[in-house]
Amino acid sequence: MAIQGKTRNSFLLFVVFWFSAINAIVAFRKLQEQEEDRITALPGQPAVTFSQFSGYVTVNEKHGRALFYWLTEAATSFPDKKPLVLWLNGGPGCSSVAYGASEEVGPFRIDRTGSSLYLNKYSWNTEANILFLESPAGVGFSYTNKSSDLKDSGDERTAEDALIFLIRWFSRFPQYKYRDFYIAGESYAGHYVPQLAKKIHDYNKAHSHPIINLKGFIVGNAVTDSYYDSIGTVTFWWSHSMISDRTYRSILDNCNFKDENRSSEKCDEAVNYAMNHEFGDIDQYSIYTPSCIQLQNNKSNLRPLRLFKNTLLRGRISGYDPCTENYAEKYYNRPDVQKAMHANVTGIPYKWTACSDVLIKNWRDSESSVLPIYKELIAAGLRIWVFSGDTDSVVPVTATRFSLSHLNLTVKTRWYPWYSGNQVGGWTEAYNGLTFATVRGAGHEVPLFQPRRAFILFRSFVAGKELPKS
């Protein structure tokens, strides 16, 4: 019996040793994968104290779909104490590297020549680890080996691929497993963000030990409900004197906002007349700021207004360069930059662009409303904030307010002005389950036009605190 016991103990020790060895090998391989993605320094980059990683995660082996990410860890002595935030830009078909990372919430800005970078004083990575994702495949450096994927993308597959990306990314970066996790974005990410949040919520319910510790999401100037967004957009145009009374009445009388596919000839005429004869030569993403002449003369750089399927321009405000999108296209097409970022490793047969025209023109499925998802996730207890720059005429504050009002939420903290320093930063109202805030003087890309106010907004969101009242 003693011999049998000794043999059994030896076997158990062997099993423990074997599993320990396997775990050590797996951990070593994960560390290797991380190190392969580490960015030592970007060309023209100033010195920084935080770590950066970028590379690819395959989300569909059969089609060869791979999504490109860029992680900028928190600029603090203890980044492991900070949450992880996924940032998504919209379009659909526009790059989170071009916009979110390079002109909004990322740590760097690109100079006019596209040759060097400088620091963003209000980078969100002072409060969190920020993960930028170019999604779906076909956006930026993200790619697919099946060209037909570029012509049948839509909401559903974008959310599915993003979930697969996260699961596999957490496997590569296990130190982020179970970390407080939030999703942020803007514009058409008004679809991406809640749709992905629902995918994660459903995934977590189906697993006893979920690895994605989703706490909530924050989204700005967000496409939310096609009907209420449309009514709210036309209302903004009229209330801000962009169109005449006659055109306003003509659009309301002739446009079927409940069904975008049943657009009448008279509706198209009214909208086209407004845009071509009444708007004037303005930046519709920021109606009170001058436009970038370079972008006006370069139609390939224009981004879509999903509501009326027309092309729009960009603008300028104090301290803001309206042509920054051009600098991104210069910088990220440099071979030395792509090498430093481990990007374009397969030799994508087209230039890196801020937005993909192919995806934009061939978007297949789009939810008419994400309000039902809001209701479900509010009931699940997620922290949800929606904000709106108040000088955007593309997805304006009136559109967002019309849409959110139909959630019929109970007011928790009544409407009040919130402050950035000694100035009103905007207005806000907190409901049971959702906080809404405006950002005064900001266009479509709020952190671009009002970086300090956007930073205060984000810091309050992550902290779970109401915006400052004084």
- The catalytic residues are 187, 392, 444
* String of DSSP letters for 410-431: PEEEEEEEEEETTEEEEEEEEE
Q: Tokens in use for 213?
A: 């510790």
Answer yes or no: are the C-beta atoms of 97 and 108 closer than 8 Å.
no
Nearest Cα to 443, choosing from 400, 398, 396, 403?
396
Answer yes or no: are the C-beta atoms of 467 and 417 closer than 8 Å.
no
- Alpha-carbon gap, residue 129 to 75, rounded angstroms: 8
Answer yes or no: are the C-beta atoms of 188 and 307 closer than 8 Å.
no
What radius of gyration do the chain's Cα atoms show?
A: 24
* String of DSSP letters for 134-151: E-STTSTT-B-S-GGGGG
* Three-state SS at 77: coil
Q: Tokens in use for 22?
A: 């396997």
Instruction: List alpha helices for 38-172, DSSP H.
Output: 155-172
Q: Please name the amino acid found at residue 69.
A: Y
Q: Any idea what DSSP says for residue 276?
A: I
* Three-state SS at 87: strand
Answer yes or no: are the C-beta atoms of 101 and 343 closer than 8 Å.
no
Q: Tokens in use for 371?
A: 């309000």
- Alpha-carbon gap, residue 160 to 395, rounded angstroms: 25
Nearest Cα to 99, choosing from 65, 71, 55, 133?
133
Nearest Cα to 113, choosing from 292, 319, 331?
331
Say what angle helices 226-239 and 397-405 make with each other, to 10 degrees.
Answer: 140
Count of Cβ atoms closer than 10 Å to residue 80 Cβ:
12
- Alpha-carbon gap, residue 351 to 331, rounded angstroms: 12
Name residue, tokens 């920021």.
286
Count of Cβ atoms closer than 10 Å to residue 272 Cβ:
12
- CA separation, residue 179 to residues 81, 85, 444, 467 (Å): 9, 10, 30, 24
The backbone torsions φ and ψ at residue 217, rounded to the nearest 5 degrees and listed phi first, read: -150, 160
